[in-house]
Amino acid sequence: MDNLYGINRDKLKTNLSVSELINEAVKRDEGTLIENGCLLINTGRYTGRSPEDRFVVKDEVTSETVKWNDRNKAMDESVYQKLKQKVMDYISDREMYWVKARVGADRQNGLRLNVFAEKASHALFANQIFIKDRERESEEADFTLIAVPALKAEGEKDGVRSEAFVILNLKERLILIAGTYYAGEIKKSVFSVMNYLLPEKGILPMHCSANMDETGDTVLFFGLSGTGKTTLSADSSRKLIGDDEHGWTDEGVFNFEGGCYAKTINLDPEKEKEIYDSLRFGAILENVICDKDGKPDYTDDSRTENTRGAYPIDYIPNSEPSGLGGLPNTIVFLTADAFGVLPPISKLSKEGAMYHFMSGYTSKLAGTERGITEPETTFSALFGEPFMIRPIEEYAQLLGKKLADGDTEVYLINTGWIGGKYGVGERMPLPLTRRMVKAAISGELRQAEYRHDDIFNLDVPVQIQDIPEGILDPRTQWADPADYDKTARELADKFLENFKRFKDVDPKIANAGPLSK
C-alpha cells in the first residue's frame, strides 16, 4: 500500500518546525499571530465536533466488535472506498504537510501515527497535541490520518449526511477527515482508535486527566468536556501526567498525548494560571475574539462558548515529561449538574463507582458540539461515550477489575450549579471545588463523617475544612426546599430510566445508584 496515499512527494512538507508551521499558516492566511504569541484560528461554521458526521467502516474486523449505534454509525465498505478515492484524488497534486507522531507514552502500548494535513495550522495542531516522533526514519506507521477540511462532501450523493465526514477504518488503519476545520476532530478520532485497540490488551482507555505527587501517587479526573478535567488537573503542587486521555495498565497509567486542548472561555489568569501562561508562542487558539490591539478576550462567546487553546504539555511547568504515572490511588468523577441538586462531593463504593462510570451523568455544556447553546442533561457512559467504540460493558468490566485489584478511593464531584438550577443558581466556585479535590486526594476524607443522601443513595461528607457551612448539602442552598426535593426526584428518575439500557448488570451495581420512590 502507498504509505503516502498518492500525495505528490514534491509537494509534501515533512516535519516542519513549530516556527516554520506558524509562518506557513500566517503566509497562507490560515490564522494570525496575536498579542500573546498564539496563532489564532477561526474554524468557521464548525466550532465543535460534529458527531452525526462520524462513521466507522463496517467489515469483517469490526462487525462483531463495534457497538453499532447513533455514535458509531456504520459505513459500508463500498461507500468508504469511493470517499477514500475522492480524498486521494483531492490530495494527489496538492501541497500537504506531514507530521510524524506517536500516541501513547507507553511505547509498548502506543501507536506510530502519520498525519497528512492540507492546512499548516492543522499540522501545527497535530505536532503540538500528539507526542513528537521526528526522529522516526520509517515512512510506515501503525495508523494514518488525513485531514482535508477544504474538501466538501456532497451529502447523500456521497453516502454521508452533510459536507463533512470523519471516517475511521480500523482494518486499513486509516482516518479520513474532510469538510470541517475544527481541530478537535483530529484529536478525538485518534482517541477513538485507542479506545478500540487497548481493551484487547487488558488496558482500560480513559477520557480523563491525570496528575501525581512527588512520590508517584496518581489521581485520575474523569469528566466530559467542560466539567473541569483540564483545569483541576493543572495543579501547581502536583505533576501533570496528561489532561485528557490515558490508559490504565497493570503497572500504572500513561498519557496518550503530548499536549493539552483546554477550553478558554472565561479563562482566569489567577485561578487558571498554568493554562493562561501556556497560551504563548507555539500555542493555537481557536475561535477566540480579540480586541483591536490583538489581545484575546476570553469572556467573549459571540462566536462560540467552545473557544479552545492547544499547547504542548511541557508548557505546563510541573508536567511529567515521561507521560507515565503510578497506579491511581484516587479517582474523581466530575459532573456539571445543571439541575443544581447533586451534592458537591460524594464518596463512592466500588459498586457506586461502577454505577456512575456506566451512567456518566453530566450536563453537556454549550459549544462542545454543534447545536448545543445551553446546558443539556446527558448520560454519557464512561464520561466519554461518544469516543468509545466497543460495548460499554467491556470498559466497565475493565474498571471493575482494576478497582478490585487495588486500593483506589473514588469520589463524585459536582462542578455544576448550586442554589438552584441553571438560570437560577450559580456555578460552583472553582476555589471550593479545588478544596474538595484536595480533601479527596490527601486522604482527609477517609476519616470524615458522612451523611447519607436518600434520594441519590450517596455518602456525603458532613464537613470539610474551609468549605462554608451548608455548601455540602445542596438542599439548604435552595430558596424553596420543596422545589429542591421535586427537582432532585426528577433527576433521580432520569438516572433510573437511563440505567435500564444495561440489561445484565450485577444487582449490586444497579442498586448502588439513585433509589426508586
Span 100-108, mean pLDDT?
97
Q: Is 230 a catalytic residue?
A: yes
Q: Is the pLDDT of residue 1 over 50?
A: no
Q: Would you state the pLDDT for residue 133?
A: 94
Q: Which of 180, 192, 230, 415 is an active site residue?
A: 230
Amino acid at site 280: R
Q: Would you state the pLDDT for residue 342?
A: 96
Span 42-63, mean pLDDT?
96
Length of the chain counted residue by residue: 517
Q: Would you state the pLDDT for residue 135?
A: 87
Q: Looking at 3-7, 102-106, 253-257, 486-490, which range is the least confident one?
A: 3-7
Q: Is the pLDDT of residue 492 over 80?
A: yes
Q: Which of 106, 243, 244, 459 is an active site residue?
A: 244
Q: Is the pLDDT of residue 279 over 90?
A: yes
Compute CA distances 467 → 163, 236, 271, 272, 330, whole Å. Answer: 50, 21, 17, 20, 21
Maximum mean pLDDT: which of 203-207, 234-238, 505-509: 203-207
Q: Which of 58, 100, 229, 421 is an active site residue?
A: 229
State pTM to two decimals: 0.92
Q: Tell me which residue has cell 506531514.
A: 98
Q: Is 188 a catalytic residue?
A: yes
Q: Is the pLDDT of residue 256 over 90?
A: yes
Q: Is 47 a catalytic residue?
A: no
C-alpha cell at 104: 501513547
The per-residue pLDDT of the chain, averaged, comes to 94
Q: Is 93 a catalytic residue?
A: no
Q: Which of 47, 49, 54, 370 is an active site residue?
A: 49
486 contacts: CB under 8 Å, gap ≥ 6? none
**Is the Cβ–Cβ distance between 211 and 240 less than 8 Å?**
yes
CATH, domain 9-28+51-201, list 3.40.50.2000, 3.30.1360.30, 3.40.50.620, 3.40.449.10: 3.40.449.10
pLDDT digits (tens, 9 = 90+) for 208-237: 999 999 998 999 999 887 788 888 988 889
Which sequence spans correspond to the domains of the chain?
A: 9-28+51-201, 204-258+322-510, 260-315
CATH, domain 204-258+322-510, list 3.90.228.20, 2.40.160.20, 3.40.47.10, 3.50.50.60: 3.90.228.20
Give the angle 464-465-470 at the CA atoms, nearest 5°: 55
Q: Would you state the pLDDT for residue 231?
A: 86
**Is the Cβ–Cβ distance between 300 and 335 less than 8 Å?**
no
Compute CA distances 250 → 257, 327, 403, whole Å. Answer: 20, 8, 11
pLDDT digits (tens, 9 = 90+) for 425-460: 999 999 999 999 999 999 999 999 999 999 999 999
**Is the Cβ–Cβ distance between 451 and 460 less than 8 Å?**
yes
Q: Looking at 87-101, 160-174, 335-349, 363-377, which range is the least confident one?
A: 363-377
Number of other CB atoms surrounding residue 80 within 10 Å: 23
Q: Is the pLDDT of residue 282 over 70?
A: yes
Q: Which of 192, 225, 227, 264 is an active site residue?
A: 225
Q: Looking at 101-105, 134-138, 266-270, which range is the least confident one?
A: 134-138
Q: Would you state the pLDDT for residue 66?
A: 97
C-alpha cell at 182: 475544527
How far is 212 from 258, CA to CA, in rounded Å? 17
Q: Is 405 a catalytic residue?
A: no
Q: Is 229 a catalytic residue?
A: yes
Q: Would you state the pLDDT for residue 217?
A: 92
Q: Which of 119, 308, 370, 421 is an active site residue?
A: 308
Q: Is 49 a catalytic residue?
A: yes
Q: Would you state the pLDDT for residue 218?
A: 97
Q: Looking at 211-215, 310-314, 366-370, 410-414, which range is the least confident one?
A: 366-370
How far is 218 from 254, CA to CA, in rounded Å? 11
Fold for 260-315, please state it. Answer: Phosphoenolpyruvate Carboxykinase; domain 2 (2.170.8)
Q: Is 489 a catalytic residue?
A: no
Span 508-517, mean pLDDT?
91
Selected residue with higher pLDDT from 46 and 223: 46
Maximum mean pLDDT: which of 162-166, 232-236, 268-272, 394-398: 162-166
Q: Would you state the pLDDT for residue 370?
A: 57
- Sort strands 308-312 and 284-286 into parallel, antiparallel or unpaired: antiparallel
Q: Is the pLDDT of residue 373 over 80?
A: no
How far is 75 from 84, CA to CA, in rounded Å? 12
Which own/partner pairs from 229-235 qualify as long-range (CB within 8 Å, at least 24 positions apart)? 229/334, 230/260, 230/261, 230/262, 230/263, 230/275, 231/262, 231/272, 231/275, 231/430, 232/332, 232/334, 232/433, 232/434, 232/437, 233/209, 234/272, 234/274, 234/275, 234/316, 235/211, 235/274, 235/318, 235/434
Span 150-160, mean pLDDT?
97
> Which helix (H) or strand (E) covers residue 79, if one does?
helix 77-91
How far is 115 from 151, CA to CA, in rounded Å? 16
pLDDT over 70 for what percent of the chain?
97
Q: Where are the alpha helices (DSSP H) in 169-293?
A: 184-197, 229-233, 273-278
